[in-house]
Amino acid sequence: MNRPSRKQLFTAGSRLALAVQYDGREFNGWQQQRSPVMPSVQDALETALSSVADEAVTVQCAGRTDSGVHASHQVVHFDSPVDRPETAWTLGVNSQLPDTVAVKWVAQVPDDFNARFSATARRYRYVILNSAQRPAHLTAGVTWVASRLNEAAMHDAAQALLGERDFSAFRAAGCQSRTAMRNVHHARVGRVGELVVLDIQANAFLHHMVRNIAGSLIQVGLGQQSSDWLAGLLETRDRSLAAATAPAAGLYLVDVHYPERFGLPEEVLGPFFIRHLFD
């Protein structure tokens, strides 16, 4: 795709897509809350967009993230109520956002584009700092596991997740999805120094699905369960038999895939400190 010129004008009525990154530690998840204890990412973004537009702007995202979960490549769409140049929706919006949220790019898309329903896949990474001592840096960006993890065993176990399966064993009790069937395209575990990373892509995910999978893989990595344990868990469809939900701090939404006809940039993949592990 040709990136829009900074002098390009997006006219009122245009449907626009934004790529957004954020540090989730200060937010009560993506979705706007009725009575928030903490603000949501959606609140922050819509406030900034509305300030630039001088009118109310609402957005729809590709995938709602939980409290404390991060994104390096969230995609949203909205219909512009006014004429504005590209720089207004990037530099202008970023100047109105907190330091923990930033717009990466904006692009005009067809009117039938929908950030959620047009997406064909979402990709997440779960980042574990596997070191004997607790970290002083990136404490809200990684999950710390002190005992040595066997990442090869974790990777082997994760292969049981591939394909279209019932993921009830990794579904949160409060999940509102009508079905637990999901299609996992890949699930890989690798190591770079002290970082052990789960990289997983599927057509869509259930509530807490990645964190529940990560929690069970950590048990495999610690030798508390065998490499074939996840395959058995899938068969049981029983959430109570799987491991505890892994912390939110290590989880990142890193990519969203769309049909080529929409012409969106394909950018892979943060967070910056493990960007090239699987690419």
Give the pTM. Answer: 0.92
- The 10s digit of each residue's pLDDT in 214-235 is 999 999 999 999 999 999 999 9
Enumerate residues 6+ apart whose C-beta is below 8 A from 182. Answer: 164, 165, 167, 202, 203, 204, 205, 206, 209
Residues 49, 97: Cα–Cα separation, whole Å: 9
Residue 1 — pLDDT band, cuts 50, 70, 90? very low
To the nearest whole number, what is the mean pLDDT of the chain?
92
Residues 254, 238: Cα–Cα separation, whole Å: 28
Mean pLDDT to the nearest integer, 101-118: 97
- What is the reported pLDDT for 110? 96
Mean pLDDT to the nearest integer, 56-79: 95
- Specify the 3-state DSSP secondary structure of 109: strand
Residue 103 — pLDDT band, cuts 50, 70, 90? very high
- What is the reported pLDDT for 270? 58
HSE-CB at 190 with a 13 A cutoff on CA atoms is 13
The domains found in the chain, sorted by start residue, are: 9-118 (3.30.70.580), 121-252 (3.30.70.660)
| pLDDT greater at residue 39 or residue 106 | 106
Q: Which residues pair with 21 in a beta bridge?
A: 102
Residue 4 — pLDDT band, cuts 50, 70, 90? very low
Question: Which residues belong to the active site?
Answer: 66
Residue with tokens 């950590």: 218
Mean pLDDT to the nearest integer, 242-252: 96
